[in-house]
Amino acid sequence: MEKIIVCIKGVPKPETVKVDPERHILIRESAELILNPPDKAALEMAMRLKDRHGVKVTVLSMGPPNVLPILKEAFGLGADELILLSDRAFAGADTLATSRVIAQAIRTLAPYSLVLMGLKSIDGETAQVPPETASLLNLPSVINVLNIIYREGKFLVIRETNYGEEELEIEPPLVVSMSPKLDYFRPPSLKRLLMAKNLDYRTLGAVDLSLPEEILGLRGSPTKVAGVFEKVLVQRGELWKGEPEELAERFLELLRVRGFLKI
């Protein structure tokens, strides 16, 4: 098997997120980033395949330089190579502009057998990047995958559907988004986390990837956000206090008044 590439995303810790009211985008630079939780399944699957087949695992992330600790977390889990895709020109990218950068980076990493991603991010939550990247690379794409077995040069991919499980036999290379429902997630190794402190990683920008700026970032994004608003939560519930019999009677009366009870 050739190398496995895992794409992970740094997402803002929900309580630290602010929205730019004019550009209608999240202000990510000031937010504290965490590893997108569903991407843990992609990393765990890669490590299980590495345990079984001794394959090299390259982990990449597109984002500002503050995603570096997340890449180092991946090294703690067993990743061999870390790549940061970072450039001012990438800022404001929608899913298509993001997938263009990721797909181009993946092209430069050939040969590879498998690209693993999370099912969806917890901030954008479109689940579009894995199939879009596969489409740009002209590769098969399988989403919501529970397990991957490599045998006789092919992948047996088990995915969850609305009706049960589906098994597919696919020749490499392919792009997979992993279901977050794995039974076990290994903890990072302390020794590797310490090694990660002084680790070398590669940074690739638009020029390194030979990508023209007009297809990148906000400029290269066909998605237009029409508006962003904060949802105001209206408290509709009532709290009744009293003796159980009294409360039950009051509740029955309410049901009668609303026409739910005819007695």
Ligand X SMILES: Cc1cc2nc3c(=O)[nH]c(=O)nc-3n(C[C@H](O)[C@H](O)[C@H](O)COP(=O)(O)OP(=O)(O)OC[C@H]3O[C@@H](n4cnc5c(N)ncnc54)[C@H](O)[C@@H]3O)c2cc1C
Of 56-64, 106-114, 208-216, 254-262: span binding ligand X (CB under 6 A): 56-64
Q: Which of residues 223-242 bind ligand X (CB under 6 A)?
A: 223, 225
- CB of residue 83 to ligand X, shortest distance in Å: 10
Question: For 247, phi and psi rounded to 5 degrees?
Answer: -70, -40
For ligand X, the closer CB: 202 or 250? 202
Q: Which residue has the tokens 């990438």?
A: 90
- By CB under 6 A, tell whether 70 contacts ligand X: no
Please answer whether residues 63 and 86 qualify as being in contact, where contact means their C-beta atoms are separated by less than 8 angstroms: yes
Looking at 51, 125, 169, 171, which residue binds ligand X (CB under 6 A)?
125
- By CB under 6 A, tell whether 39 contacts ligand X: yes
- By CB under 6 A, tell whether 63 contacts ligand X: yes
- By CB under 6 A, tell whether 215 contacts ligand X: no
Regarding beta strands 141-151 and 154-161, do their DSSP bridges make them parallel or antiparallel, or are they unpaired? Answer: antiparallel
Please answer whether residues 153 and 94 qualify as being in contact, where contact means their C-beta atoms are separated by less than 8 angstroms: no
DSSP string, 36-67: -TTHHHHHHHHHHHHHHH---EEEEEES-GGG
Q: Which residues contact 21 (CB under 8 A, 6 or more apart)?
A: 228
Closest CA to 127 of 173, 87, 180, 163: 180
- By CB under 6 A, tell whether 141 contacts ligand X: no
- By CB under 6 A, tell whether 12 contacts ligand X: no
- CB of residue 206 to ligand X, shortest distance in Å: 14
Task: Enumerate binding residues for ligand X (CB under 6 A).
Answer: 7-9, 25, 28, 36, 38-39, 42, 61-63, 91-95, 98, 102, 117-118, 120-121, 123-130, 218, 221, 223, 225
